[in-house]
């Protein structure tokens, strides 16, 4: 197994993804808590390009970017596979993982921080993106089928973190009426280990995102 360390911040969902994956694989790891307001030399040396968490250190070698780390974990510890085995299914899972990170996260965040006349349009765009995800999960318990897998981990911010963004952004996106499949999947995921056992307290996520919201909004106001 070797020595496994995770440089992470408890309120960060890219970091939670890595914790869930390691727990699903039964890999023991040391958690190194990072202060993003005063980044450690270890983080800056391990991820000099992006300077972001999470970073996995396996026998001292750093791997950055949560989607990359998930694939590394899956290739290194073969038990309880995260990605599907079939090449087409794997490509499909990677496609939707990128969609979730590049489109949905950005869209929901953008709708949350938006204020004034652009807000309604930003919410509409976020809803269109979530509608595409809702269609993907239709008729399935998890994105991968009957068992929790890679895409559930990647989309795992939706059940716990999205609701905080809704509150801070004064908007309602994920309702059972609008997105019944995604809504039901969210409820299922919150009942599923390791997700249910490894979530930061909601209040701490509110504080964490409030900081980011205030920063982005003050930058927009000072433009
Ligand atoms: N694409 C990256 C995103 C990681 C990310 O945004 N990390 C945030 C915490 S959630 C961070 O380290 N922010 C510090 C900064 O931007 O300076 C991934 O999936 O790992």
The whole-number pLDDT of residue 221 equals: 78
Residues 27 and 104 in one domain: no
Give 14-44 pLDDT, tens digit per residue: 999 999 999 999 999 999 999 999 999 999 9
Ligand 1 centre distance from Cα of residue 193 (Å): 24
The whole-number pLDDT of residue 214 equals: 87
Domain boundary among 76, 103, 138: 76
Does 219 have pLDDT greater than 80? yes
Cis amide bond preceding 208, omega within 30: no
Residue 81 lies in a domain: no
Give 91-144 pLDDT, tens digit per residue: 999 999 999 999 999 999 999 999 999 999 999 999 999 999 999 999 999 998
Q: How many domains does the chain have?
A: 2
Name the pTM for this structure. Answer: 0.97
Domain boundary among 32, 54, 76: 76
Its domain, for residue 67, covers 4-76
Residue 176's domain is classified under what CATH number?
Answer: 1.20.1050.10
Ligand 1 centre distance from Cα of residue 62 (Å): 15
For ligand 1, atom 15, the nearest C-alpha belongs to: 52
Residue 155 lies in a domain: yes
């Amino acid at each position: 197994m070797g020595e496994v360390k995770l440089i992470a911040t408890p309120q960060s969902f890219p970091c939670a993804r890595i914790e869930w994956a390691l727990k699903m694989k039964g890999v023991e790891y040391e958690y190194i808590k990072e202060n993003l307001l005063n980044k450690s030399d270890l983080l800056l040396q391990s991820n000099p390009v992006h300077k972001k968490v999470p970073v996995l250190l396996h026998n001292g070698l750093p791997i950055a970017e949560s989607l990359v780390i998930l694939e590394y974990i899956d290739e290194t510890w073969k038990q309880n596979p995260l990605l599907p085995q079939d090449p087409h299914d794997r490509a499909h899972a990677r496609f939707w993982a990128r969609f979730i990170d590049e489109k949905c996260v950005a869209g929901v965040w953008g709708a949350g921080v938006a204020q004034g006349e652009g807000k309604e349009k930003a919410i509409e765009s976020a809803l269109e993106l979530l509608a595409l995800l809702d269609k993907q999960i239709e008729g399935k318990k998890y994105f991968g089928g009957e068992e929790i897998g890679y895409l559930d981990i990647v989309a795992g911010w939706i059940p716990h973190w999205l609701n905080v963004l809704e509150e801070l952004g004064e908007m309602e996106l994920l309702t059972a009426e609008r997105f019944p499949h995604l809504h039901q999947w969210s409820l299922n995921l919150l009942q599923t280990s390791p997700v249910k056992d490894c979530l930061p307290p909601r209040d701490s996520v509110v504080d964490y995102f409030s900081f980011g919201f205030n920063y982005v909004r003050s930058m927009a106001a000072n433009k």
